[in-house]
Structure 1
């Protein structure tokens, strides 16, 4: 377990440097380049700086809850990685309810965010926590619905069984589920464009505004580590996990490479899209992602019912048939829903006295 904790912390530090360099390039900047080759020692320099910062606790804060929050933020990241198979038979705990376990463990994050906002005795922190909890509750529903489709196709909730069932990557078999899961996970991670819980221009730093020193370092490690953990879960559920050529020997290499691709996409989205408004963000969950996940679940259930043989298994041909059908369903759904929820913008027109309020007219 200590090896897992150290691996998560090391991966979080490495990813923080890679993402800052990538976003610098996306923004036509250089990024960190002072400490070490290409700035590779910048995470270490930041850690040393935070270790020597004074660890302050607000006067009106609940000290016990305030101190628990950083550990509560980091715990789901480590506990989730415990059931993820990096290679064949390498999961620390091979649970037959691995998918359910991941959903349960990651729900701790919403509790930790609310604890941070409530215990800080700060209005900005409380507003950020309220936003974070609203986002997590809203996006948890479509995320769960999207995973039900994966479980139906695999016939098991064990991550090892899900990986073994992917003779065709579930990214192709379940494109709608992947889209919903990726968008929902981005929201739960407070990543741009869903980062309203930490909107600097509105509520400064959000729920962790009062944290400093080691506590702030742990929260940052949890946020960056959560991106890698979510990428690892998506690799296992949708990208065949450690499977690949010579996977008996190079399974871990394939797994890490796929994690790197997804982490790059997370950084790409962060550097590209603007932040959504709270009404747009919640509407996206309830009016777009949730209907898509329900449609995907019903389509998958019908396909599994008609294609599964007497032994209850789906062969490679069945998976390719499902992939073709589901891509057609996904294209039709995205086209229809994209048209329906498109925000109507009132065309500009001349400003007359009848369009002005009495105050504006004066």
Structure 2
């Protein structure tokens, strides 16, 4: 059963709304617990080790025990923090992550406690914009956590995260524009209904690839986990957090992973609709079966998150920002222009052959343009960069026979090495090695 409009929403009694909200919250909590365990198990197998296998049968209680361990740890509050904001930041991170799931369709209309109700908490004419707005609020928890900690490295992690989320939320929103053009609606249930024949992952493959890249950057997951790069920032924005406050940041991260995975399934993989060839079975998209297909699609994306973490190394920050601003956003804009043009031509009756030719031509032009910009003229070989070990006041003892270069005014930027009665520039000595090599 599909949703022709939004009239099926808004008729549930208050107790049923509370039950559905509680079910969504419990579903997210259980998904987080299972995802942490599965991630550690899968990472262990991919890295040729066992993973957790001590607590409970086959290590199944490891996530629960870790949560209890965090709760029993002492909640330290460092001196010099802005205490109200410091305590509020984890809450700001968790609440928007849970709220975004309110408009995700998990199934069609079913019978629950004798009442017909959709497997969705609510829906809006601009439901996708609601998800983007709520997700953008979550970054304030990270930024405020870094700022309120009163420490350098958490502050740098918070600043990185703000720039990261702004960059990749733009690309994420642009990837949705083509879905809106094809579906004719911003309602999540309407977008699922519009994919009854063909999923948008096949029609809008560039948008899907852009969204998958952007959702990894949006959730601060490897290889885009720059706000919490352990080697540079000692944990990033949550360095000064412990106990349940630290656990709330981890909860927010995994709930965000579940939300963006559910949104990807809704926007591009037909939502709760059964995949082919299961969709050919009568009754595959009725009753409670669609919930199984939806959960399976969500876990497919969660596995992709885990796979990327085990496979790819962390990017440098300049590379990461270049991907967002120089690749994803320009490609998204070009793709939106192409889809809007083809959509307009299709309305006027232009054949599909011409549409495919125009699309192929545009892709070829883009690839040629990228290859041309990559070709650069070789830089002429110049003199080696002058290096002075005494520049900047570093405590390097002066070399014997060293004196200022006659052609360089001021301080000793380039020195002269006196060797066997010869005056040799110091940069030449340093570039060639020892005096015996000279």
Q: What TM-score do the two structures reach when normalised by structure 2?
A: 0.74
- How far did 1:337 drift? 7.0
Residues 302 and 215 of structure 1, relative CA distance in 2, 3 Å threshold? same
Query: 1:230 aligned to 2:257?
Result: no
The answer for the alignment partner of 1:20 in structure 2 is: 40
- How far did 1:145 drift? 1.0
The answer for the alignment partner of 1:59 in structure 2 is: 79
Larger RCO (CA within 8 A; separation ≥ 6): 1
The answer for the alignment partner of 2:248 in structure 1 is: 218
Larger Rg belongs to: 2
Instruction: Tell me the distance in 1 between the aligned counterparts of 2:121 and 2:77.
Output: 36
Q: Which runs of 5+ in 2 are unaligned?
A: 1-20, 109-117, 389-426, 431-438
Cα-to-partner distance string for 1:242-276 (whole Å, 9 max, x where unaligned)? 11121113100010111111111111111111111
Residues 255 and 189 of structure 1, relative CA distance in 2, 3 Å threshold? same
Query: 1:252 aligned to 2:281?
Result: no
Q: Is the 8 A contact 2:101 2:259 kept in 1?
A: yes
Secondary structure at the counterpart of residue 355 of structure 1: coil
- How far did 1:114 drift? 0.7
Instruction: Tell me the distance in 2 between the aligned counterparts of 1:16 and 1:321.
Output: 49
> In structure 2, which of residues 46, 49, 66 is the aligned counterpart of residue 29 of structure 1?
49
Query: Which of 31-40 and 251-260 deviates more?
Result: 31-40
Q: Is the 8 A contact 1:139 1:188 kept in 2?
A: yes
> In structure 2, which of residues 340, 345, 348 is the aligned counterpart of residue 306 of structure 1?
345
Instruction: Tell me the distance in 1 between the aligned counterparts of 2:64 and 2:370.
Output: 44
Q: Name the structure with the higher helix share.
A: 1
Instruction: Tell me the distance in 2 between the aligned counterparts of 1:252 and 1:270.
Output: 27
Cα-to-partner distance string for 1:318-352 (whole Å, 9 max, x where unaligned)? 8x997x679847964784576467698x99xxxx9
Secondary structure at the counterpart of residue 285 of structure 1: helix
Cα-to-partner distance string for 1:91-140 (whole Å, 9 max, x where unaligned)? 10111111110110000122111111011111110000011111111112
The answer for the alignment partner of 2:166 in structure 1 is: 137
The answer for the alignment partner of 1:179 in structure 2 is: 209
Q: Which runs of 5+ in 1 are unaligned?
A: 311-316
Secondary structure at the counterpart of residue 100 of structure 1: helix
Residues 7 and 321 of structure 1, relative CA distance in 2, 3 Å threshold? farther
Instruction: Report the aligned-residue RMSD.
Output: 2.7
Q: What TM-score do the two structures reach when normalised by structure 1?
A: 0.89
Residues 91 and 341 of structure 1, relative CA distance in 2, 3 Å threshold? farther
Instruction: Tell me the distance in 2 between the aligned counterparts of 1:114 and 1:275.
Output: 21
How many pairs does the alignment contain?
350
